């Protein structure tokens, strides 16, 4: 039995070993094993409200730190691309841009279509054995749920495994009408392991003591505890399945 075994019987389950939260090895492993394989929110469709625009995104800043760019072509089709030039790794797009016909790298001028395909590079016409098809900007899958945009660096699980159940449960919400109200923003810096934060969110024992307003409108003693299990370890944060992802040999 691994030190990270979680008993599926919640009456018998115990908190996992503290090693999971404190050992940097697992913190690093989680990047590839969990966050690269799962679908992450990258922004709102209003970031690129028109055709021929580009908006740079840093995926999970200070953790994955993966430079991406959301683009829209002349037909207003959206793409999620690697924001790293395929020549020497320069960032392609530094700030939001509009009225774009192509993407041009500012280092040596390599040119790409807005869907990431390679067009040309100065002084490369006579280079032998150069394969343009191997030099496109990497295109990542893009899932649009109303105006919410999601991508996945290593999509080993189908997008439906992540979203179908959520869409069944809250698809009735008018998500496409929701707008960002910056004046209502709150930012809380929590210096904790991400898993600890998820666990805190998922259990309700703290509600009577920490959230009196919420506690006043729920009947805590009659609130059912739901376990939403999926066949594959997809919705990690909802089911403690990140442990399975960490331990699986893939």
Report, in Å, the least distance between residue 86 CB and ligand FES.
7
Report, in Å, the least distance between residue 27 CB and ligand FES.
31
How many alpha carbons fall within 13 Å on the CB side of residue 54? 24
- DSSP assignment, residue 91? B
- DSSP assignment, residue 170? H
List Cβ neighbours of 164 (8 Å cut-off, separation of 6 or more): none
Nearer to ligand FES, 36 or 85 (CB): 85
Report, in Å, the least distance between residue 151 CB and ligand FES.
22
**H or E stretch covering 220:** none
Three-state secondary structure readout of 173-201: CCHHHCCCCHHHCCCCCCCCCHHHHHHHH
Nearer to ligand FES, 45 or 108 (CB): 108
Report, in Å, the least distance between residue 80 CB and ligand FES.
19
Report, in Å, the least distance between residue 112 CB and ligand FES.
10
What is d(CA 37, CA 59) in angstroms, rounded to the nearest whole number? 13
Nearer to ligand FES, 122 or 174 (CB): 122
Distance of CA 116 to the CA centre of its chain: 20
- Beta strands of the chain (E only): which ranges? 40-44, 53-59, 66-72, 78-82, 103-104, 111-112, 118-120, 139-140, 142-145, 148-151
Q: Where on the chain is the footprint of ligand FES (CB under 6 A)?
A: 85, 87-88, 90, 105, 107-110
Report, in Å, the least distance between residue 225 CB and ligand FES.
53
């Amino acid at each position: 039995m691994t030190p990270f075994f979680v008993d599926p019987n919640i009456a018998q389950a115990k908190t996992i070993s503290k090693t999971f939260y404190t050992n940097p090895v697992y913190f690093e492993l989680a990047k590839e094993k969990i966050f690269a394989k799962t679908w992450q929110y990258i922004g709102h469709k209003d970031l690129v409200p028109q055709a021929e625009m580009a908006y740079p995104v840093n995926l999970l800043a200070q953790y994955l730190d993966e430079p991406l760019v959301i683009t829209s072509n002349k037909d207003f089709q959206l793409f999620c691309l690697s924001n790293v030039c395929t020549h020497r790794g320069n960032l392609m797009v530094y700030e939001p841009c509009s009225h774009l016909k192509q993407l041009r790298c500012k280092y040596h001028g390599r040119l790409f279509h807005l869907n990431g395909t390679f067009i040309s590079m100065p002084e490369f016409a006579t280079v032998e054995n150069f394969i343009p098809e191997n030099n496109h900007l990497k295109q990542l899958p893009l899932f649009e749920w109303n105006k919410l945009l999601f991508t996945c660096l290593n999509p080993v699980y189908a997008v439906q495994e992540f979203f179908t159940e959520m869409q069944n449960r809250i698809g009735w919400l008018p998500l496409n009408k929701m707008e960002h109200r910056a004046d209502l923003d709150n930012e809380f810096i929590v210096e904790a392991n991400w898993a600890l934060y998820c666990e805190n969110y998922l259990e309700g024992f703290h509600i009577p003591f920490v959230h009196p307003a919420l506690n006043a409108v729920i009947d805590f003693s009659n609130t059912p505890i739901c376990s939403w299990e999926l066949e594959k370890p997809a919705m990690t944060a909802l089911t403690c399945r990140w442990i399975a992802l960490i331990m699986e040999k893939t």
